[in-house]
Amino acid sequence: MLSKQRFLTVAVVGEPNAGKSTLVNALVGQKVSIVSSKAQTTRCNLIGVFIEGDSQIVLTDTPGLFAPRERLGRAMLHNAQAAIKASAGALLVVDASHPRVEQNLRFLEEKKNVCGILALNKIDRVERSKLLALAQSFNERFPFQATFMVSALKNDGIKDVKRFLANKAPHEAWLYPENQITTLSLRLFAAELTRERVYKRFYQEIPYACTVETIQWEDFSFKNETRVAQDIYVQKSSQRPIILGQNGEKIHAIRESVQKELSAVIERKVHLFLHVKVRENWTEDKAFYDLWNLRYDA
């Protein structure tokens, strides 16, 4: 007898800044992956889970595929490729305003045996006639089972994608509890929120090689409060005062913003403490790779 439940794993792939994380968040209905305009914001494979009818869909938000030159980039690429191979479906997200057919289709060269889906994102920036021609050019090169025109930021077309994935899911038992939307721990999620704020506030001044670690998480049940302490690591001493700001006003603004969002997520009052530290070679520290489940020697 077939199970009433249906289950499908889908790797969300595409170039940097195509809007993969924004689309995953829109499909899940809550933030599970941080978003910024800085390329390669997503570092590890992040899981987002949503339920549509009897179907549980597990989305893996992957780092944008690129040609890595350093250890961190190689580890990210390895994780992304592993996610594509392990998933039953592949959702290719393309920035419709800056499409590159060849560059995008190479992500799916080895996945012609899976459910391939195309999502042309940011359609609000492109004329409709150009969108139709773009969709045709992609479908002439790869046997996509479906093509969707979406604006993940504006939540346009999201329901159609969810409905299609739910209908494609085979009859299998769900992997996660009904109320679970991600596998990311609260400590890592909190660290990602802070990294997102740093990237958004210091887009030009702070380079990609900045990271955040949650070093303390302490719940006080009798007060319904949580104390969180984090270290923000930069690679140069000149970057530390940039994040701190004059009299600490910039780091204070980041703290207030993260504290507010985290409090809303965990439904507790949060006291957040941030410390900016210089660690020149943190990208060579295996402990960080273990924390993100990245392969150090990829």
Protein fold of 6-168: Rossmann fold (3.40.50)
Q: Are 122 and 93 in contact (CB under 8 A)?
A: no
Amino acid at 164: F
The mean of the pLDDT values for the chain is: 87
Tell me the C-alpha distance between 34 and 273, whole Å. 20
The CATH number of 186-291, from 3.40.50.720, 3.40.710.10, 3.40.640.10, 3.30.300.20, is 3.30.300.20
pLDDT of residue 282: 84
Asked which of 6-15, 112-121, 221-230, 244-253 is least confident by mean pLDDT, the reply is 112-121
pLDDT of residue 39: 58
pTM: 0.87
Q: What is the DSSP letter of 42?
A: -
Asked which of 7-11, 53-57, 59-63, 97-101 is least confident by mean pLDDT, the reply is 97-101
Nearest CA-CA partner of 193 in 70, 5, 58, 32: 32
For residues 117-123, average pLDDT: 95
Strands 55-61 and 6-13: parallel
pLDDT of residue 145: 92
pLDDT of residue 199: 87
Ranges for all domains in the chain classified under CATH 3.30.300.20: 186-291
Is the pLDDT confidence value at 148 over 80? Answer: yes
Tokens linked to 258: 């993260």
Ranges for all domains in the chain classified under CATH 3.40.50.300: 6-168
pLDDT of residue 67: 65
Tens digit of pLDDT for each residue in 209-246? 788 999 999 999 888 999 999 999 998 899 999 999 99
For residues 9-28, average pLDDT: 91
pLDDT of residue 104: 67
Kindly calculate the radius of gyration of the chain based on its CA atoms and give it in whole angstroms: 20
